[in-house]
Amino acid sequence: MSDRTLLEVEDLHVSFATSRGAVRAVQGVSLTLNQGKTLGIVGESGSGKTVLSRAIMGLLPRSSTTQTGSVRYNGTEILNAPNDDLRKLWSTHIAMVFQDPMTSLNPVQRIGNQITEPLKIHLKLSKGEAKETALSLLMQVGIPSPVERYQAYPAQLSGGMRQRVMIAIALACAPRLLMADEPTTGLDVTVQAQILDLLGQLQHDRDMAMILVTHDLGVVATRTDEIIVMYAGNVVERAPTNVLFKSMAMPYTEALLKSTPRLANPSHTRLTAIEGRPPDLLHPPAGCPFSPRCPYAQEKCHRERPPLVEAAPGHSYACWFPLTAARPQEVTV
Amino acid sequence: MTDTAVEAEVVDTTEPLLSVEDLHVSFHKGSQTVQAVAGITFTIPRGETLGLVGESGCGKSTTGRAIVQVERATSGRILFGDTELTALSRGDLRTLRTQVQMIFQDPISSLNPRRRVSDIVAEPLNIWKIGTKEERKESASAMLDQVGIDPYLLGGRRPREFSGGQCQRISIARALVLKPKLLVCDEIVSALDVSVQAQILNLLEDLKQQYNLTILFIAHDLAVVKNVSDRVAVMYLGRLCEIAPSDLLYEAPAHHYTAALLASAVEPDPETARSSAALLGEPPSPINPPSGCRFRTRCPRAEPRCAEEVPEMRQIAPGHQVACHFPIGA
């Protein structure tokens, strides 16, 4: 696998104009992704993870958003690029699997039409060729009796099957980068495992890069090379997956992990909940955005925003008093 | 001990508060019949939380809805204490609903958007005309306070001004304001973020102690169910596969379906073996379920006997029941 950089995001800011002011949904995010690698973006609702992935795709409405910074795909700037240029990238270079397979498919079009459409538009395949490719794609994503399903409408399929169809559509034009936004949320555990296996297999076969956006640390723990943790529009920690789970530095990452119920823990294990709520992105706090809820917060945290610094190779975090370092109160003892 | 506990009639604690016996619930779709629940039996002793897990369409929600009588049972018995719920008249059922409450998945749509949250929580008290108007208002405020919603600051607001987690707290307050004995929770945390989910689960544990609640906790998330439940029942295609004390069930599952579910679950730890799809395909249609054991079409251990003979629930260890001809470890 090559180390060629496929995607580079630098200091990306996204804000939405609302009647109450600008909502700063993404506040200076930088990331890089190499060919064939998987990046997990983890965060709770409102953390900006979905906005970030849509900004990378160029899917946000131009009229109501302000996007600054840089998104380079294969060295080419694509942030705020003209729609015609983006259309050439979509499907053939970057494709996306959305969360809700119920609403992302067109309910009045047959499955077959929805898969052949990108093939005919982007790859200029003939009707016959497109159908052949579509059937082979349906087979690859594990849909039983593809010939019958080709004629089916989305409503005739289960949620898991619809998500497989979404994946088939996304993969139709052999993209180099697949964005998967909560691809398994709302699916049953057994189906979730099937879909994650399928994505991993296809990614491996095609040497495709993937961004896996999720709220579930369990989904990214064993299926990503690197993880970015987002909170209130900021990247608060970034590390290779193993490093993150072994030596997490940001208290928010720890809090997120501790509030997740674990199969390994005995029943009635008290969960460590994160008290309070995320900050209002209309008026983000001056200091660390997590400081109002952070059990370790000091005076400085409320006053000054910690920058994202690379403390060890590949491991960055935005925290004045990281978990891995000795704490001030511990030092004074 | 609280006043309510002193007032409560003296009962044997091992006596079940809820007994479900051979419950069937069927729906008709044209000429076809969907057996959503096809003969399940279990009991919940007073003060216990029973978790009910299974995948979508397995009938777990229908079971919960049948217990609170939102759905009527096709056959079978549901005993609440000594009262047979399926035989009650409408009037008696109404009275009984004060003791059996349900909380739903979607916290926002289950609250009336036009009403103030203090009125939403006081509504059950108003319906039953419990106490004076002032007392009701006070009880509702106290209840809101208990679930972590400041009644004086926020009681006058409407549901849309609250987050999903807060709406779920309000739903809990509404369900508990009449001091019910049995609470049916149907996927109450599945729409919430993990940090909020933890808050709600902790709150439920606290309230359970305080009000001496008996809970049927329905969810699809295995880790969530384990966290709150004393015992867990696993359901597949309308039938129960296995019931056991939580820790035992997760440590030594006896049913192949339980084992497959556990193997599919993801854990936030890269050191654990990567979960992988332990089951292929999807459950068959409940309109035309497989003969014999309903899981046999996807079971790695299925033999001809599984197609011919329905496996009955049997005890394999104290408190551990399984419906399988060839249980794991046997």
Contact B37, B25 (CB under 8 A): yes
Q: Is the residue at B315 inside a domain?
A: yes
pLDDT number for residue B13: 53
Same domain, B143 and B272: no
B193 and A277 within 8 Å at the Cβ level: the answer is: no
Do B154 and B83 belong together in one domain? Answer: no
ipTM of the complex: 0.87
For residues B143 and B28, membership in a common domain is answered with no
pLDDT of residue B30: 86
Instruction: With beta carbons under 8 A apart, name residues in chain B contacting A44.
Output: 193-196
**CATH number, position B290:** 3.40.50.300
pLDDT at residue B6, as a whole number: 41
> Based on the domain organization, do B280 and B140 belong to the same domain?
no
Calculate the CA B148 to chain-centre distance: 23
Please indicate, yes or no, whether residues B78 and B224 belong to a single structural domain of this protein.
Answer: yes
Q: Do A189 and B261 lie within an 8 Å CB cutoff? A: yes
| Beta-carbon contacts of residue B62 (< 8 Å; ≥ 6 apart) | B25, B36, B37, B71
Domains assigned to chain A: 5-93+175-331 (3.40.50.300), 108-172 (no CATH)
B187 and B71 in a single domain? The answer is yes
More confident residue, A102 or B138: B138
Cα–Cα distance for residue pair B231/B249, rounded to 1 Å:
8
Give tens-digit pLDDT for B76-110.
999 999 999 998 999 999 999 899 999 998 888 88
- Do B282 and B232 share a domain, yes or no? yes
In a domain, B311, yes or no: yes
End-to-end CA distance of chain A: 49
Indicate the number of domains in chain B.
Answer: 2
Judge if B91 and B35 occupy the same domain. Answer: yes
Distance separating alpha carbons of residues B127 and B140, to the nearest angstrom: 13
What local confidence, expressed as pLDDT, does residue B9 receive? Answer: 44
The answer to whether position B305 is within a domain reads yes
Q: Is A333 on the interface with B (CB under 8 A)?
A: no
**Nearest Cα to B252, choosing from B329, B305, B182, B165?**
B329
The pLDDT value recorded for residue B2 is 42
Q: Is residue B237 predicted with pLDDT exceeding 50? A: yes
Considering the domain boundaries, does residue B229 fall inside one? yes
Nearest-CA distance from A238 to chain B in Å? Answer: 16
In a domain, B300, yes or no: yes
Identify whether residues B52 and B73 lie together within a single domain: yes
Domain range for B56: 3-99+183-197+207-322
Contact A216 B266 (CB under 8 A): yes
- Give pLDDT, residue B307: 96
Q: Which of B194, B263, B278 sits opposite A215 (nearest CB)?
A: B194
* Ordered per-residue pLDDT tens for chain A, 333 residues: 457 999 999 999 999 999 989 999 999 999 999 999 999 999 998 899 999 999 999 999 988 999 999 999 999 999 999 999 999 999 899 999 988 777 889 999 999 999 999 999 999 999 999 999 999 999 988 888 899 999 999 999 888 889 999 999 999 999 999 999 999 887 888 888 998 999 999 999 999 999 999 999 999 999 999 999 999 999 999 999 999 999 999 999 999 999 999 999 999 999 999 988 888 888 888 999 999 999 999 999 999 999 999 999 999 999 999 998 754 444 333
Q: What is the pLDDT of residue B134?
A: 93
Look at residue B106 and tell me if it is in a domain: no
Which three-class secondary structure state does DSSP give residue A90? strand
| Residue of A158, A204, A212, A263 best to disrupt the B interface, most CBs of B under 10 A | A263
pLDDT per position as a tens digit, B26-41: 999 888 899 999 999 9
| Per-residue pLDDT tens over the stretch B114-128 | 999 999 999 999 999
B45 and B130 in a single domain? The answer is: no
Establish if B328 belongs to a structural domain. Answer: no
pLDDT digits (tens, 9 = 90+) for B43-55: 999 999 999 999 9
Co-location of B165 and B308 in the same domain: no
B227 vs A218: CB contact, 8 Å cut-off? no
Pair B135, B13 in one domain: no
Residue B66 CB burial class (10 angstroms; 0-12, 13-18, ≥19):
buried
Look at residue B330 and tell me if it is in a domain.
Answer: no
The sheet that has A309-312: what strands, in order across it? A94-97, A177-181, A209-214, A38-42, A226-231, A234-240, A315-317, A309-312
